[in-house]
């Protein structure tokens, strides 16, 4: 059974060109499937090129969806990506420290209103402009190995592996750029990633988004669209997250699991009888580099400023 509201179209976005028919794939350097539903919601996802050494009998109608930040890894993937760029002198540690403070302030004050979302989106647009996809993916691979891999929650990774072992597909769902999500999924041996999609022309980012930031309700919309394209029954699917921001996603599937939950999600999980898994240590678990959506956009802005400065230095 497929969910209602089947997407009007799903096409592979390869270097800025939409091609193919619903559910198609093309063998190009950038493989991002973009889907738009009847309500005009646009979502994008990218598969990895991995195949298990010994493939179990496939379970075609069930899958698992994992949030990334503080669910699959400690902290925010975009933050660690920024740290990696800073270590390569793409921007300064002062820029990074300023972002870290802004991130904490936004989370404590819960300032994710429309104005802040606008700031986040504008920052996201600026981040990618002029950069080549292969350069971003190469940097993401290096930075994952250096800074993200040690911060993967082993317990969450094992949960994902159980789904793979049962023949189900496993997707990451993140507000980070889909190329970064795809790198993380590849390194973890997962099926693919749903993420924020940026337009690409001639192998380089134009600075324009395709659709919206992958956050909150957008995650549920994207999962629903992917399910329609891939023939998944959401009632047989599972979703894992640490944040109450992902309640729409958790509510869209048949099995919701709160992983390292914040206080609001923990209360909701208890109310709904959802499973809770906590892999943090200490009497009071401290979250590392937890982003709000606006703050995630702000780190992108900090990265952008650094990248622009670095390009000017190199040009000079």
> Where do we find the tokens 């996809």?
133
Per-residue pLDDT at 79: 82
CA dist., res. 193 & res. 255, Å (int): 19
Per-residue pLDDT at 124: 53
Residues 6+ apart with CB under 8 A from 63: 163, 168, 169, 170, 171, 191, 227, 230, 232, 237, 238
User: Taking 90 as the threshold, does the pLDDT of residue 21 lie above it?
Assistant: no
Question: Region 91-108: what's the mean pLDDT?
Answer: 58
Among candidate residues 37, 69, 242, 246, the one labeled active-site is: 69
Handedness of CA 125, 143, 215, 97 (dihedral sign): negative
Is 119:292 a contact under the CB 8 Å cutoff? Answer: no
Q: Of 22-36, 139-153, 230-244, which range is least confident? A: 22-36
Is 120:294 a contact under the CB 8 Å cutoff? Answer: yes
Structure tokens given for 225: 């669209």
Residues 6+ apart with CB under 8 A from 304: 123, 126, 127, 129
Known catalytic residue at 116: no
Q: Per residue in 195-210, pLDDT tens?
A: 988 888 899 988 888 8
Report field, pTM of the whole predicted structure over 0.85: no
Measured in residues, the chain has a length of: 316
Per-residue pLDDT at 62: 97
Known catalytic residue at 233: no
Among candidate residues 37, 67, 116, 246, the one labeled active-site is: 67
Neighbours of 281 (CB within 10 A): 7
Per-residue pLDDT at 154: 96
Per-residue pLDDT at 288: 38
What rounded mean pLDDT belongs to the chain?
78
Residues 6+ apart with CB under 8 A from 183: 137, 140, 141, 144
User: Taking 50 as the threshold, does the pLDDT of residue 290 lie above it?
Assistant: no
The proportion of the chain whose per-residue pLDDT surpasses 90, expressed as a percent, equals 46
């Amino acid at each position: 059974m497929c969910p209602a509201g089947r997407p009007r179209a799903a096409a592979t976005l390869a270097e800025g060109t939409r091609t193919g028919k619903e559910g198609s794939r093309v063998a190009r350097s950038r493989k991002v499937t973009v889907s738009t539903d009847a309500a005009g919601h646009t979502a994008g996802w990218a598969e990895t090129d991995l195949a298990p050494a010994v493939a179990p009998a496939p379970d075609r109608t069930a899958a698992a969806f994992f949030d990334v930040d503080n669910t699959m890894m400690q902290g925010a993937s975009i933050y660690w990506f920024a740290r990696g760029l800073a270590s390569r002198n793409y921007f300064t540690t002062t820029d990074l420290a300023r972002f870290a403070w802004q991130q904490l302030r936004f989370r404590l004050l819960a300032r994710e209103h429309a104005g802040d979302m606008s700031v986040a989106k504008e920052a996201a647009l600026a981040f990618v402009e002029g950069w080549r996809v292969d350069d971003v993916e190469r940097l993401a691979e290096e930075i994952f190995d250096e800074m993200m891999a040690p911060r993967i929650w082993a317990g969450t990774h094992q949960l994902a592996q159980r789904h793979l072992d049962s023949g189900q597909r496993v997707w990451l769902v993140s507000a980070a750029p889909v190329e970064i999500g795809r790198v993380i999924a590849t390194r973890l041996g997962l099926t693919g990633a749903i993420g924020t999609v940026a337009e690409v022309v001639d192998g380089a980012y134009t600075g324009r988004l395709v659709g919206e930031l992958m956050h909150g309700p957008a995650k549920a919309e994207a999962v629903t669209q992917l399910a329609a394209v891939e023939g998944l029954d959401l009632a047989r699917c599972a979703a894992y997250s640490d944040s109450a921001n992902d309640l729409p996603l958790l509510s869209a599937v048949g099995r919701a699991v709160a992983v390292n939950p914040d206080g609001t999600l923990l209360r909701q999980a208890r109310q709904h009888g959802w499973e809770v898994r906590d892999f943090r240590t200490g009497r009071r678990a401290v979250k590392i580099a937890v982003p709000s959506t606006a703050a995630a956009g702000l780190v992108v802005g900090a990265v952008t400023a650094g990248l622009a400065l670095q390009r000017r230095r190199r040009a000079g």
